Structure 1
Amino acid sequence: MATINDVCRVAGVSKATVSRVINGTGQVRASTREKVEAVMKELNYRPSIVAQALANKSANSIGLVISDFTGGYFGSLLKQASVSADKLGKQLFFADGHNNAEDELKAVHSLVEKRCDIIILYSRMLSCEQVVALSKSIDVPLLNVGRLLPESAGYSISFDQKHAIQIAAKHLVELGHKNLTYIGPKPTTPTSRMRLAGFLEYVEQNEQQGLVSQICESNFGFEEGYQATKKWLETNHFGSAIVAAADDIAVGCIKALKEHGILVPEHVSIVSIDNDACSPFIDPPLTTVDVPIRKVADKAMVVAQQILGGEPQPESEVICGQLIERSSARSLWK
């Protein structure tokens, strides 16, 4: 691997000159700059990120804080953020918020200390007021992913959680189902609150058409959906259709139903949210609402680059999901 000394030798210049070319500092004649750049390209020389950070007081990096690293949802977000950062020529630093507000704050400040140029925050636990205060307290721009926040909190790009759950419920109603069971977590995070609120709102709007509902509590996760379903079946039944708050809950639910001799969709239909990578491969393939998390992550990275380039902060955005029809829901009209 080529070193800065190799560049100096081939280009016939000092290390100080090469450093000025790399960091864009000091005076270097155009012809010399072009010669050094050509040699770096010829030798496939890559400057040290650490050295550049020390010279420019910047790590040429984007920070990403996620409240939880588990599950396909956040895995997709991380993967897309990494791909997008690489395309932008930025290093990606990330930190785990451990699903509590104090650690989310610590994670952000740790990335500030690493001299990140901008920080993207996916917070589950911080209140709106806390994010606004955080944005004002740090000296780097803050971008918010996952929920819509006021402009004072920085740019935000979010997914319409209410709309997604209502797409799922509406699809089941259009198939003739009037007795829906929502299976999902207690409303303790922005996502869980909005998904449950969207379901309850849809039911209330359609009560006059005979729509009835019930709530089965289950945390996010395959095992959680499985255990919650088993417990529910000890004393209750699901009606003709289930709206699951997430694909992993739905997968666990389907397994528990099968063990009780309840077939999907022959006996009960299920529609879920997220379009997890596993959803087409379970039996039956899961009808779900696509959450375009990769699109959201990529757009956040593009906006980060725009802001770093001196462009004004754009208006915040809300992205809606689309229903992906597979085989886990059937019509009662036939």
Structure 2
Amino acid sequence: MTNIKKVSQLAGVSTATVSRTLKSPDLVTPQTREKVMKAVKQAGYRPNWLATSVKTGKSNSIVVLVPNLVNPFFMRIIEGIEQAAQEKGFSVLLGDTQGKAEREHEYASMVLTNRADGLIQLDHSFPFSDNDADLAASIPMVSVCERIAGHPDYPFIELDNYAAGRALTHHLIGYGHKRFGVIAGQIASQIHHDRLSGIKSVLTEEGISFDEDMLVGGSYRIETGIEGIQQLLAHKQPPTAVFCFNDDIALGAIHEIKRHGLRVPQDISVTGFDNVRTSAYMDPPLTTVDQPAYDMGRRAVEVLSRMINRQPLTRTREILPFSLIERHSTGPVHQD
């Protein structure tokens, strides 16, 4: 059956406009209505799902946008989402966006066209297209871990990343480290800003300078850790400790440090972030920050459910606790 996207392409309007025309034709201009209905006829579109949606007003489905399904941290969040969604009678539609705006727009439009009741975003980007931005203002949407850039009014579930950055820094300074490197994830995100600010705040308090050239990275991939270590070791005075902004980055970093004939932590200490299941089995086991990913996912569904049912929220920001897990990838600074 021809889908609504084909109709929108033929009519030269968004999928949301097609849906609105079919559901509430009085809300669109006569010119738009004519274009859409002509396209519906041309495409042979028969929106069978619409009749059920109109009767109930709900689809009992939610969309979850995931930037990378391979990331084990996201899978833990999804476990929590799935469990809570089942308990509340929602089915979950996973959209693996790969960080691409076009994919986000397509999946997000499902909420605008009544194929889903709400949306959970696991990335920091606003998932709706410019054409659909006005319609999206009233859409139930919750972000997890990240905050949606430029849209602070949407509720979000997060960690106190600033405090976590401080905790990691105090831990490494306690071992005598003064030269630090940072291998970051998405530099444009609030997470990056908060973690880096936490690190720098402690360094300032301790009178330790931070060389901005020691900030590298830009994605949450294992390869980012490998490339980051290559850059950091090229410096005249390489760091004695490296903050990795997730555990995948740390895995790549440890691999590359060893490939250069160096030891962890005797030559370079390494910290991660997330405490994915494999972090305890790395060689050496990884010092990292544990995020309650499963609980984050559950809480996101609970908040989204209240929004879908038009129940008031007591707050739009929820901060969940973290734990610093000290393992063997960090230790005393090597004395030259």
* TM-score normalised to structure 2 length: 0.72
**Which residue of the partner structure matches residue 142 of structure 1?**
141
Q: 1:199 to 1:135 in 2, by over 3 A?
A: farther
Residue 164 of structure 1, CA deviation: 1.9
Aligned to 2:273, the other structure's residue is in SS state strand
**Which residue of the partner structure matches residue 111 of structure 2?**
111
Residue 285 of structure 1, CA deviation: 0.2
Q: Percent identity among equivalent residues?
A: 23
User: Do structure 1's residue 188 and structure 2's residue 188 form an aligned pair?
Assistant: yes
The gaps in structure 2 that reach 5 residues or longer are 1-48
Residue 124 of structure 1, CA deviation: 2.1
Distance in structure 2 (CA, Å) of the matches to 1:250 and 1:237 = 20
Residue 323 of structure 1, CA deviation: 0.2
**Which residue of the partner structure matches residue 162 of structure 1?**
162
* Paired residues of 1:62 and 1:120 also in contact (CA < 8 A): yes
Aligned to 1:196, the other structure's residue is in SS state helix
Distance in structure 2 (CA, Å) of the matches to 1:212 and 1:189 = 21
**Which residue of the partner structure matches residue 260 of structure 1?**
260
**Which residue of the partner structure matches residue 13 of structure 1?**
none
Distance in structure 2 (CA, Å) of the matches to 1:155 and 1:323 = 26
Distance in structure 2 (CA, Å) of the matches to 1:91 and 1:186 = 30
**Which residue of the partner structure matches residue 311 of structure 2?**
311
**Which residue of the partner structure matches residue 153 of structure 1?**
153
Aligned residues: 282
Q: 1:281 to 1:185 in 2, by over 3 A?
A: same
Residue 56 of structure 1, CA deviation: 1.6
Aligned to 2:280, the other structure's residue is in SS state coil
**Which residue of the partner structure matches residue 25 of structure 2?**
none
Q: Map 1:1-334; keep pairs closer than 5 Å.
A: 53=53, 55-101=55-101, 103-126=103-126, 134=133, 137=136, 139-148=138-147, 153-185=153-185, 187-207=187-207, 210=208, 212-213=210-211, 215-218=214-217, 219-316=219-316, 317-332=318-333
Residue 172 of structure 1, CA deviation: 0.6
* Paired residues of 1:163 and 1:320 also in contact (CA < 8 A): no
The gaps in structure 1 that reach 5 residues or longer are 1-48
Q: Which has the higher contact order (CA 8 A, sep 6+)?
A: 2
Residue 139 of structure 1, CA deviation: 4.7
Q: 1:56 to 1:145 in 2, by over 3 A?
A: same
Residue 318 of structure 1, CA deviation: 2.0
Residue 257 of structure 1, CA deviation: 0.9
Residue 290 of structure 1 aligns with an amino acid whose one-letter code is: D
Q: 1:310 to 1:160 in 2, by over 3 A?
A: same
Q: 1:323 to 1:130 in 2, by over 3 A?
A: farther
Distance in structure 1 (CA, Å) of the matches to 2:151 and 2:248 = 33
CA offsets 1:38-75 (integer angstroms, 9 cap, x no match):
xxxxxxxxxxx999657424211222223333311222
Q: What's the C-alpha RMSD, in Å, of the aligned pairs?
A: 3.3
Structure label with greater radius of gyration: 1
Distance in structure 2 (CA, Å) of the matches to 1:68 and 1:262 = 31
CA offsets 1:260-309 (integer angstroms, 9 cap, x no match):
12111122211221112210010100000112222111111122233444
Residue 121 of structure 1, CA deviation: 2.2
Aligned to 1:157, the other structure's residue is in SS state strand
Q: 1:77 to 1:51 in 2, by over 3 A?
A: farther
**Which residue of the partner structure matches residue 45 of structure 1?**
none
* Paired residues of 1:64 and 1:95 also in contact (CA < 8 A): yes
Q: 1:193 to 1:143 in 2, by over 3 A?
A: same
Q: 1:123 to 1:130 in 2, by over 3 A?
A: farther
Residue 196 of structure 1, CA deviation: 2.8
Aligned to 2:278, the other structure's residue is in SS state coil
Distance in structure 2 (CA, Å) of the matches to 1:267 and 1:333 = 6
Distance in structure 2 (CA, Å) of the matches to 1:227 and 1:171 = 25
* Paired residues of 2:267 and 2:334 also in contact (CA < 8 A): no
Aligned to 1:204, the other structure's residue is in SS state helix
Distance in structure 1 (CA, Å) of the matches to 2:325 and 2:276 = 11
**Which residue of the partner structure matches residue 6 of structure 2?**
none
Residue 77 of structure 1, CA deviation: 1.8
Pick which of 50-59 and 275-284 moved more: 50-59
CA offsets 1:159-213 (integer angstroms, 9 cap, x no match):
2222222211111112222222222246223333333333333323332xx4555
Residue 159 of structure 2 aligns with an amino acid whose one-letter code is: F
Distance in structure 2 (CA, Å) of the matches to 1:206 and 1:169 = 10
Q: 1:110 to 1:53 in 2, by over 3 A?
A: closer
